[in-house]
C-alpha cells in the first residue's frame, strides 16, 4: 500500500479578504507613519545629545564628602540591594 501525501490548499473567501484589508489598512498606515516619525525623532535626539555640551560634571569622591541627601540615597539603595540579594539566595 502506498502512502498518500497531503498538501495544504487555501481557498480564499475574497469578499472577507477585501473587508479585512479595508478595515486594517488605515491602522497599518498609521503605524508605519508613526514608526517613521519615531525613528527620525530618535536620530535627531541622539545627534543633539552628542553635539550639545553636558549640563553636569561627574567625579569620584569619598562617601563622607557627599551631601547628606546623596548619602541617604546610597544607603537606601544598598539596603534595597541587600534585601533583593537575600531573597535571591533563599531560593
Q: pLDDT for 1-60, tens place per residue?
A: 678 898 999 999 999 999 999 999 999 999 999 999 999 999 999 999 999 999 989 889
34 and 41 Cβ atoms separated by less than 8 Å: no
pLDDT at 4: 87
The mean pLDDT value for 65-80 works out to 90
Give the confidence band of 87 by pLDDT, cuts at 50, 70, 90: low
For residue 41, CA distances in Å to 23, 25, 31, 83, 89 come to 29, 24, 15, 40, 43
Q: Which residue has the higher pLDDT, 2 or 79?
A: 79
Residue boundaries of the structural domains of the chain: 9-53, 62-91
pLDDT at 88: 58
Judged against a pLDDT cut of 70, whether residue 91 lies above it is answered with no
Amino acid at each position: 500500500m502506498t502512502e498518500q501525501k497531503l498538501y495544504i490548499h487555501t481557498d480564499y473567501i475574497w469578499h472577507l479578504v477585501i473587508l479585512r484589508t479595508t478595515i486594517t489598512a488605515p491602522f497599518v498606515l498609521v503605524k508605519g507613519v508613526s514608526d517613521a516619525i519615531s525613528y527620525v525623532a530618535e536620530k535627531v535626539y541622539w545627534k543633539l545629545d552628542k553635539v550639545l555640551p553636558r549640563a553636569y560634571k561627574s567625579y569620584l569622591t569619598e562617601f563622607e564628602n557627599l551631601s547628606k541627601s546623596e548619602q541617604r540615597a546610597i544607603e537606601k539603595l544598598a539596603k534595597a540591594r541587600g534585601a533583593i540579594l537575600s531573597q535571591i539566595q533563599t531560593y
